[in-house]
Amino acid sequence: MTDIPFRTARELRAALGARELSAREVVQAHLDQIERVNPDVNAVVTLVAERALAEAAAADERAARGAELPPLHGIPVAHKDTHETAGIRTTFGSPLHADHVPERDELVVERMRAAGVISIGKTNVPEFAAGSHTFNPVFGATRNPYDLSRSAGGSSGGAAAALATGMHPLADGSDLGGSLRNPASFCNVVGFRPSIGRVPSWPAPLGWSGLATAGPMARTVADAALLLSVLAGPDPRSPIALDEPGETFARPLDRDVRGLRIAWSPDLGGSVPVEPEVADVVEASAKVFGDLGCVVERDCPDFAGADEAFRILRAWQFAVKYGPLLDTERDRIKDTIVWNTEEGLRLSATDVGRAEVLRTELFHRFREFFTRYDFLLLPVSQVPPFDAELEYPVRVAGQDMVTYLDWMRSAYFVTVSGSPALSVPAGFTPGGLPVGLQIVGPHRADFAVLQLGHAFEQATGAAQRRPAVAR
């Protein structure tokens, strides 16, 4: 039983299907791991143990009857606390919603539960998922399992820390400016930002907007692909959902990578400052691909306009979502959210139109870049995990970070391009802090990105290094 929390989701599903393990055993083992480890890292903030064990018992009864079992039968998951879950408190990390209990699941949770997932609780987030450091006034900060004095990243920071410490084998997350990728990098797990529309969103007041997306997190690329096979696929409630069925991502990821053309850059072509210990890991990762037989060159697309486009479109979305709250709840909202919302309220139609033009231009530069290369390697984050007592890093590689967004450019520049992007464990700093590699591919080449990440993962074994707090 003691090894259950660190088995992969695929291994657990195989054991459950063969009746070598029961769903009750699997759920209880993860609940025990939460009891042991969560007080140190504060990743799971709402727990529904009795409900989860009752669902596990029902799953075992279905298996005993010989019923066909769904693809994630018996797999326990604590959902991101910005994803609404029927009957389970969902706070968004905000005191405004501290006691909010939804009456229905949102689409990603609905799909996971239909696939057999057993909901065991919720994972911590920054307030309204704003910022790549997980802390809020409702539950406090999530700690990095590799160094409890450091940040676990965000906004899916609770999910990443829970994965790294064996509290659950899969996690749902979301990503606007890096919220799947950054915490994965900080916690030595896998986070995948799919192409827009790959994972539909509902409810979504900005249903036509294409900056944010939900996506999978796991300890291995193969497990992330397994979860994506459940999350992806069309839905009539989303006007931008892609038609390709999710089952596409359940296929084996093995691929001969010899001859692939791969570009890499430690600093996005000089457009962002990056701490040297992070850049060193990116350079070492590029050499791994050379050893695998890829043709590797130092090169990067032009990211001109990415910063302006992202900040305008993000601020516009904040104005839509949180603008009405400023009149009545300003004092109960984090200062950075108030600032970002006010930035959006000051925008003109011309500003938003210019951002869309810049975004389109970047998309076409990426499209042309990927006629010369198959993939692009970049840092996920410009810094290793930083002091958890800071709201955000104030200096990166000797340059001042003026706002809470500045240090996340290496992730959100890629957001603007529209390309799928994977954060995969790549190594550690000399001080033992995890660093992820960002693998970027052409528009909608999601499966190919996962294949390359899988090949890299198999070659390095960086993901096998577990945090001491979890043992």
pLDDT tens for 21-34 read 999 999 999 999 99
Cβ–Cβ under 8 Å, residues 10 and 223: yes
Domain boundaries, the chain: 4-470
Is the pLDDT at 293 greater than 80, yes or no? yes
The rounded Cα 95 to chain-centroid distance in angstroms is 24
Which tens digits make up the pLDDT trace of 325-356? 999 999 999 999 999 999 999 999 999 999 99
Which tens digits make up the pLDDT trace of 362-380? 999 999 999 999 999 999 9
Which tens digits make up the pLDDT trace of 2-24? 799 999 999 999 999 999 999 99
* Average pLDDT across the chain, whole number: 97
CATH 3.90.1300.10 fits 4-470, yes or no: yes
Cβ–Cβ under 8 Å, residues 412 and 426: no
Pick from 455, 307, 212: which is nearest to 437 by CA? 455
Pairing of strands 118-123, 76-80: parallel
Is the pLDDT at 40 greater than 80, yes or no? yes
pLDDT of residue 239: 96
Q: Does residue 80 carry a catalytic annotation?
A: yes
> Cis ω on the peptide bond leading into residue 185 (within 30° of 0)?
no
- One of 80, 119, 132, 195 is an active-site residue; which one? 80
Cβ–Cβ under 8 Å, residues 24 and 60: yes
158: confidence class by pLDDT, cuts 50, 70, 90: very high
The rounded Cα 86 to chain-centroid distance in angstroms is 22
Q: Does residue 155 carry a catalytic annotation?
A: yes
210: confidence class by pLDDT, cuts 50, 70, 90: confident
Distance CA 202, CA 204 (A): 5
Cβ–Cβ under 8 Å, residues 369 and 443: no
pLDDT of residue 244: 97
Which tens digits make up the pLDDT trace of 73-105? 999 999 999 999 999 999 999 999 999 999 999
Which tens digits make up the pLDDT trace of 160-170? 999 999 999 99
- One of 179, 201, 381, 419 is an active-site residue; which one? 179
Distance CA 83, CA 56 (A): 22
Cβ–Cβ under 8 Å, residues 202 and 237: yes
314: confidence class by pLDDT, cuts 50, 70, 90: very high
Distance CA 162, CA 185 (A): 14
Residue 63: both structure tokens together: 């298996």
Q: What percentage of the chain has pLDDT greater than the value 70?
A: 100
Is the pLDDT at 1 greater than 80, yes or no? no
Q: Does residue 179 carry a catalytic annotation?
A: yes
Cα 331–332–338 angle (5° rounding)? Answer: 70
pLDDT of residue 198: 98
* DSSP, residue by residue, 203-245: S-TTTT--S-EEEEEESSHHHHHHHHHHH-S--TT-TT---S-
- One of 94, 151, 155, 419 is an active-site residue; which one? 155
pLDDT of residue 209: 86
pLDDT of residue 471: 77
Once rounded to an integer, what is the mean pLDDT over residues 227-242?
A: 97
